[in-house]
Amino acid sequence: EGAPVSTLMEHYMLDTMLDLAGFGEGEGQMTTGSSNGNMIAMLAARNQAIETGKEQGLFGHSPLLAFVSADAHYSLDKAANILGLGTHNLVKVPVDEHGRMQPQALERLLQQHSQNGKIPFFVCATLGTTVRGAYDSLPPLVELREKYGFWLHGDGAWGGAALLDDELKKHFLPGIEQLDSFTWDFHKMAGTNLMCNVLLFNHHRGTLRCVCSAGEHSYLFREEDKNAELDMGTASLQCGRRVDSLKWFLDWKFFGKKGLAERIRHYLALSEYAEQVVHGIPELEMTVPRESFNVCFHFRTPENIPANEFNLELRNRLFKQGISLVGIAYIEEKLTLRLLITHPDYSRADVDSFFSNLVAAGKELMHEHLQG
């Protein structure tokens, strides 16, 4: 009611996103970020698993179990805490050498826990893990869902942007149309200003309202309203909201699906190039092979210099000297430098100068270490 035009823009964009994902008879919503999107999906699954959950709470019910890969984002842990499920009831499934959830391991864990009287209700596939950029494979998870009947959610916060390009979608997201829900951030690779997250539900029209709505709110929402169907307020966990749909709609109209798809392909091409550059520099080494958009590498160190400390020092020096702020993370306790390219004007020349600056600083630091 307060912003009718932007509400129509939001509907238009959400419908467009549902089409892209291949979700039939679905619905969507803009949230405050994928952390929030993941939580709402888990909430919907929880209230579906425990029919009385919304009114009576979880007290006295058999424990529910959620499953994610060991490399999933920490927002899933937060969601398990917030929703009253408990972080110990979020089971971490081992990943394979590519950083993808192992379906066989998932099935073993599903069987094992079901025997203990716990109820598996939710599996989250990470579509583009935070550190390595790995995409969990969906078809085997869809198969397991047939057997175990859980809610299958896709966290595409980072990697979901592959949806914008038909080829990348086929390559990275096969089976996405089978998910029960999917969330991704338009403010990451797609470049819209913060915040711009979208959460999509498949074959679940009305679920959002049912899950999120509660309490007496007739000062805002009234059934006599002819446009109640269009009003998105009762389906949101927020009360007041920024008009985030405007910038999203304008970006979409200005760049178009094609323009944004080119952007994503450009990022992928640059990360392929960056991997080649790393291979060509003797001082550097890929920490793990590149899975998608993430380039995880480190500076090689001789045996007498601890690699993690050295790379951390190198990274801090680059930051303090105002040269660059590189992401770092740990892969199996090994510190890795993590290059993610998300600026549309970034070019091969920028990749070159990033690495040559880094190598120069690294050599200098190595020199100091060997002398000191």
**Closer to its own copies by Cβ: residue 161 or 261:** 161
Q: Which of 3, 11, 16, 58 forms a contact with its own copies (CB under 8 A)? A: 58
Inter-helix orientation angle 103-115/138-148, to 10°? 20
Which one of the spans 76-84, 100-108, 277-285, 343-351 is the region binding its own copies (CB under 8 A)? 76-84
Q: Which of 9, 13, 30, 64 forms a contact with its own copies (CB under 8 A)? A: 64
* 97 CB neighbour count, 10 Å cutoff: 8
Q: Phi first, then psi: what are they for 198, rounded to 5°?
A: -125, 135
Q: Which of 24, 57, 149, 256 forms a contact with its own copies (CB under 8 A)? A: 57
Of 29, 5, 20, the closest CA to residue 196 belongs to 29
Residue 77 contacts its own copies per CB under 8 A: yes
Tokens of 100: 């993808």
The DSSP annotation for 148-182 comes to: H--EEEEE-TTGGGGGGSHHHHHHH-TTGGG-SEE
Which one of the spans 120-128, 138-146, 147-155, 214-222 is the region binding its own copies (CB under 8 A)? 214-222
Q: Which of 6, 36, 126, 271 forms a contact with its own copies (CB under 8 A)? A: 36
Any idea what DSSP says for residue 102? -
Which one of the spans 9-17, 238-246, 247-255, 362-370 is the region binding its own copies (CB under 8 A)? 238-246
8 A C-beta contact, residue 175 and residue 146: no
Q: How far apart are CA 177 and CA 133, in angstroms?
A: 20
**Closer to its own copies by Cβ: residue 142 or 328:** 328
**Closer to its own copies by Cβ: residue 7 or 89:** 89
Q: How far apart are CA 69 and CA 82, in angstroms?
A: 19
If residue 195 lies in a helix (H) or strand (E), which one and from where to where? none
Residue 364 contacts its own copies per CB under 8 A: no
**Closer to its own copies by Cβ: residue 148 or 221:** 221
Amino acid in the structure at residue 63: P
- Binding mask of the shown chain, residues 91 to 130, with x at each position contacting its own copies by CB under 8 A: ---------------------------------------x
Residue 254 contacts its own copies per CB under 8 A: no
Which one of the spans 45-53, 134-142, 277-285, 353-361 is the region binding its own copies (CB under 8 A)? 45-53
The DSSP annotation for 37-71 comes to: HHHHHHHHHHHHHSTTHHHH-STTSPPEEEEEETT
The DSSP annotation for 234-289 comes to: GG-S-SS---HHHHHHHHHHHHHHHHHHHHHHHHHHHHHHHHHHHHH-TTEEESS-
**Closer to its own copies by Cβ: residue 178 or 342:** 342
**Closer to its own copies by Cβ: residue 171 or 343:** 343
Residue 169 contacts its own copies per CB under 8 A: no
Residue 338 contacts its own copies per CB under 8 A: yes
- Binding mask of the shown chain, residues 282 to 321, with x at each position contacting its own copies by CB under 8 A: ------------------------------x---------
CA distance readout (Å), 89 to 71, 122, 190 = 16, 11, 34
Phi-psi region of 102 (alpha: psi -120 to 50; beta: other; left: phi over 0): beta
Inter-helix orientation angle 75-82/34-49, to 10°? 40
Residue 241 contacts its own copies per CB under 8 A: yes
Residue 51 contacts its own copies per CB under 8 A: no
Which residues lie near its own copies (CB under 8 A)? 1-2, 32-36, 39, 43, 46-47, 52-64, 73-78, 80-89, 130-131, 185, 187, 194-195, 211-219, 224, 237-242, 312, 325, 327-330, 338
